[in-house]
Structure 1
Amino acid sequence: MASGISDAQLAVFVLSLRRSNPPSDTSIVLFMDSVSPRAREIMEAHAVEGVVFDKSKFGDIHPSTYRWPMITEAVEGRGAAVGNVLVADIRDMAFQGDPFEVIGREGGGLHVFTGVEHITLGKDGWNGGWVRDCFGERLLESIKDEVIICSGVSVGDRDNMVGYLKMMSSEMDLPSFKQCERNGVDQGVHNVLVHTGRLKGGGVDVKVHRQGGGTVANMQAGVAKYRRGEGVVNGEGRMVDVVHQYDRDGELQDHLFREFVEWDMAVEGVGEGGCEGYIIKENTEAYKGICDLSHDPGSDYLECCKVCNGKPNCRGFTHIRKGCWLKTCGNNGNKELKVVGATGAWKV
C-alpha cells in the first residue's frame, strides 16, 4: 500500500528492491490513491504496476484496514503465475538484499517478524489496545504474555500467503469490526491470528522470526543497528535483507535518501508573518543531536516560530510530529538531514 507516501519514499523502496529483484524475476504492485508525475517516472523506469484507487469510497475506514482485501484480490487474481509473495509497507521500507531469500533458507510457509520485543502484547498500550477493543478483554488475557508481531512486512509462498490474506480480510470485514477500526488496528488482528493458532488451524504454516538473528530489521525494536558505511545489521551482527521503519534513525534515513533520491528534496523559502526573519526548509531536520534548547508542542512550523521568538536563546528549530525541537544554533555549517515531513528553520 502506497497511500499518501512521498516520491522520495517511493524511490527508496523501488530502487533498493530492484537491486536484487529485477523485473524479470519480481513484479512490484503498489496500491496508490494518487500518482505524481515524478512517481510515474519512477514506476515506468522500474516496471512497477500501480493500482490507483479512490480512497473516498471507503469513507472513514483507514488505508491500513482496507488494503487487505485489495491485496488478497490482487494475489488471488494472478493465479498460478504468482510464486512467493512479499506484503510490505512502502513508506518506511528499504532493501539491502533479496527479501525472498528467507524462503530459500528456511522453506515455505508464512514468515512473520517480531517488532518491539522488550514489552509484551498485554503491557503495550497500542498493541494491547487494538486486541482488546476488537476481540475483547478475555482474548487479550489469553495472549498478553506473547511477543508483538509486526504486520508491516510478511513474506511467504503463494498458498500460505493467500490463506493468511483471506483470514486477515475476513476478520476486518465483520460488522462488529467497525467499532474498533482505526489506524494500525490491523496489527492487532495479525497478532491474534498468529498467537491464538487460528492461522495454523486454517492450514497456514507460520514461522516467527525474532529481531536478534532475523532477516528483517524492524528498527523501532531497537535491536538492529545502522553501521555507517556498512548498512543495517541484526543482533548477531549480520546484514539484514529488509529494513523497516528506517525513519526511526535520522542518519540511516539521510543515507538512504542520498543513495536513492536523485533530486533535491529540500524546498527553501523565506518566512513571513510570525516567521519573518527565518529561513524555512521543507523535508529537513536541523542539527540533530546538537545545540538542543527544548522540546515544545506545536501543530505546525508557524507555531514553532512563535515559540522560538519567545525564547531569547532560540536560533532555530525543527518541526516534526506536532513538536518543536528548538535549537540555540543557526545555519552555520551544522549538519542537516533530509527527513520527509520535517521542517527546519533558522534565524537569518
Structure 2
Amino acid sequence: MNGNLVIGSAFSYQIEQIEPFVKSLRRYYGGKVVLFVQNLDEATRAFYEHHNIDTHEIAETIDFGTINVMRFQMYHQFLNNVAASQFRKVFLVDTRDVIFQGDPFTNTDMASLYLYAEPEMIGACAVNADWYKQLYGDTGLAEVKNQLIICGGAILGTRDAVLNLIEIFWAELGVLAGNQRFFGKCDQALLNYLAYNKLKNWILGATYSSNVATLHHAKYFKFNSNGQLLNANDEPIPVVHQYDRREWFKDLLLRQV
C-alpha cells in the first residue's frame, strides 16, 4: 500500500475557485491528489504543479448539464487502471465548496465504503425530495422520506468498493434512462436510492460525528479559538463541505487558508 488517493473535478476552474481546496488539503495531507480538469490557463497549471496536484485533462467537450453524473464514469475509467493494492482508500470529493481542517482519511478504517449524511431527512428538503420523486415517483419517495439525505459530493472507500458502487450506479442509471427518468442532476437521488435499497457493508458518516460535515442544512455550529468547525467531541472536522452557503461562515473558514 502506498497511501491514499483524493479525486475531484475542477473543470474550467481558475486559481481563486480551487485555492481554498488545494491549500487547505495540502496543509494536512501530503498524499496523491488527482483533479480532472479542462481549459487550464498557465497560472492555474503552475499552481497545481507547485502544490503537487496531478491533473487529468479531458479533451472531449463537457456537457455541464450532466457533469454531476458523467464525472463518475471518468472516475471509474481512471480507477480501473489503478491496482487495488496501490492505495488504501480513495476519496471522491467536490472541490469548489470544500475546505479541509485535517487529514480527510482520519478515522476511516472501520469499513470499505463510507457515505456521508446531510443533517436533514429526504422528505423534509424540497429539492432532494423533488429529485428523488423524479426518479422513483411518489411511492419511492414515501419509502425513503424519513431517511437522512446522503450527499453525492463525498464518497470514501477502498478502490474496489468505490468501483463497485460506480458500476451499480451506472447500471441503475441505464434503467432510469430506459424509462426516460434520467436528468442531469440525478446523481444524488440515485445515490440515495442505492444506499437505502441495494448497497451493502457501508457506513453512514453523520455531519458532527464523522470526518465529513455537509452544511447546507446544518442548524448549529461550534468553533474553537482558531475558527475551526468542531464535531460533537470538540475536535476539528477534517472535511467541511458546502462551507460557502453562509457568507459569515465562509469568511471565518477562509481565514484558515
Describe the superposition over 1:270-323 as per-residue Cα deviations: whole angstroms up to 9, x where unpaired: xxxxxxxxxxxxxxxxxxxxxxxxxxxxxxxxxxxxxxxxxxxxxxxxxxxxxx
How far residue 3 of structure 1 moved from its aligned partner, in angstroms, is 2.2
Cα 1:169–1:38 shift into 2, 3 Å: farther
Q: What is the rounded CA distance, in whole Å, between the counterparts of 2:183 and 2:199 in structure 1? A: 21
Q: How many residues align?
A: 246
Describe the superposition over 1:181-235 as per-residue Cα deviations: whole angstroms up to 9, x where unpaired: 123x211011101111x011xxxx2101222322211121225626362311124
More strand by share: 1
How far residue 171 of structure 1 moved from its aligned partner, in angstroms, is 2.5
Matches within 5 A, 1:152-171: 152-171=153-172
Query: Which secondary structure does the structure 2 equivalent of 1:152 belong to?
Result: strand
Describe the superposition over 1:159-191 as per-residue Cα deviations: whole angstroms up to 9, x where unpaired: 2222112222333344337643123x2110111
Q: What is the rounded CA distance, in whole Å, between the counterparts of 2:137 and 2:240 in structure 1? A: 33
Matches within 5 A, 1:308-319: none
- Contact persistence 2:229–2:236 (CA under 8 A): yes
Partner of 1:138: 139
Partner of 1:86: 91
Partner of 2:195: 194
Matches within 5 A, 1:1-348: 1-22=9-30, 26-54=31-59, 56=61, 58-59=62-63, 61-80=65-84, 81-104=86-109, 107-117=110-120, 120-174=121-175, 175-176=177-178, 179-183=181-185, 185-196=186-197, 198-200=198-200, 205-223=201-219, 225=221, 227=223, 229-260=226-257
Q: Counterpart amino acid of 2:210? A: G
- Between 1:211-220 and 1:174-183, the stretch displaced more is 174-183
Give unmatched runs, 5+ long, in structure 2. 1-8
Q: What is the rounded CA distance, in whole Å, between the counterparts of 1:249 and 1:193 in structure 2? A: 30
Q: What is the rounded CA distance, in whole Å, between the counterparts of 2:48 and 2:208 in structure 1? A: 34
TM-score normalised by the chain length of structure 1 = 0.65
Q: Counterpart amino acid of 2:79? A: V
Q: What is the rounded CA distance, in whole Å, between the counterparts of 2:179 and 2:106 in structure 1? A: 35
Q: Percent identity?
A: 25
Q: Counterpart amino acid of 1:213? A: S
Q: What is the rounded CA distance, in whole Å, between the counterparts of 2:250 and 2:76 in structure 1? A: 31
Give unmatched runs, 5+ long, in structure 1. 261-348
Query: Which secondary structure does the structure 2 equivalent of 1:233 belong to?
Result: coil
Q: What is the rounded CA distance, in whole Å, between the counterparts of 1:163 and 1:194 in structure 2? A: 13
Higher RCO (CA-CA < 8 Å; seq separation 6+): 2
TM-score normalised by the chain length of structure 2 = 0.86
Query: Which secondary structure does the structure 1 equivalent of 2:36 belong to?
Result: strand
- Between Structure 1 and Structure 2, whose CA radius of gyration is higher? 1
How far residue 236 of structure 1 moved from its aligned partner, in angstroms, is 4.3
- Contact persistence 1:224–1:235 (CA under 8 A): no
Q: What is the rounded CA distance, in whole Å, between the counterparts of 1:38 and 1:55 in structure 2? A: 22
- Contact persistence 1:113–1:154 (CA under 8 A): yes
- Structure 1 runs (4+) deviating above 6 angstroms are none
